[in-house]
Amino acid sequence: MLIRPGGTELYTDYLSLAAQTDMVAAVRSLLNAAPLYTPTMPRTGKSMSVRMTNFGKTGWMSDHKGYRYQVNHPDTGAPWPDIPESILSVWRDLLPDQPLPDACLVNFYDQDAKMGLHQDRDEQDFSVPVLSISLGDTALFRLGGTKRGGKTQSFRLSSGDVMLLRGEDRLAFHGIDRIYPGTSQLLKNGGRINVTLRKAL
């Protein structure tokens, strides 16, 4: 369903429990090849509370030098593993007319992790939507407008929900204010995984 006239669609419970379980297994199976790393903030070098990894041709990262896409893992130097078919198929189903994504960012939130309000603007073509998949504990997601400091709306994102950001909302400020611990049994140690698919190049 459309949750904002600007173009944000939320498909609640899009993935069955079996599909969620398979997707978590697919993500886990690639964490040896592409371990979670701790991004740091541009300039300050302060650690983010969210740990990340990527699949696909290129991956998003942040360190004291800034935000960027790069083809190698920042810690291991290895190329990112291919995007699992179970993840790609969600894009094919919802965005059949769009080019396939070349970047799959995996964010892992423990129960204390958050992500401050930001815009995603490191991709080349903002006309291609972003697709986000939530797995594990419920998160409180905040979505604002395209200018910092404007009014914001909050939504809960639960395991199996899929969100599409397109149109003017593609450049909206957004962030994760909090995780609700114990709201899902999907991840054995709790926490939340968010998988975002993008065409970055």
Give the binding site for Fe ion (CB under 5 A): 120
Smallest gap from residue 127 Cβ to ligand MD3 (A): 13
Which member of 53, 62, 107, 159 binds ligand MD3 (CB under 6 A)?
A: 107
3-state helix, strand, coil in the chain (%, to 5): 15, 35, 50
Smallest gap from residue 24 Cβ to ligand MD3 (A): 15
How far is the C-alpha of 127 from the C-alpha of 98, rounded, in Å? Answer: 10
List CB contacts of 61: < 8 A, sequence separation 6 or more. 37, 39, 52, 54, 67, 68, 69, 70, 74
58 binds ligand MD3 (CB under 6 A): no
Task: Give the pair of three-digit tokens for residue 62.
Answer: 């942040």
How far is the C-alpha of 31 from the C-alpha of 192, rounded, in Å? Answer: 15
Smallest gap from residue 107 Cβ to ligand MD3 (A): 4
Smallest gap from residue 196 Cβ to ligand MD3 (A): 5
Nearer to ligand MD3, 22 or 155 (CB): 155
Task: Give the pair of three-digit tokens for residue 26.
Answer: 């697919």
Which member of 169, 179, 186, 200 binds ligand MD3 (CB under 6 A)?
A: 169
Nearer to Fe ion, 120 or 169 (CB): 120
Evaluate whether 131 touches 99 at the Cβ level (below 8 Å): no
27 binds ligand MD3 (CB under 6 A): no
Nearer to ligand MD3, 107 or 138 (CB): 107
Q: Which of 200, 127, 199, 121 is nearest to 167 (CA)?
A: 127
Nearer to Fe ion, 132 or 159 (CB): 132
Nearer to ligand MD3, 81 or 141 (CB): 141
Which member of 176, 179, 197, 200 binds ligand MD3 (CB under 6 A)?
A: 176
34 binds ligand MD3 (CB under 6 A): no
Find the DSSP H helices in 50-153: 85-94
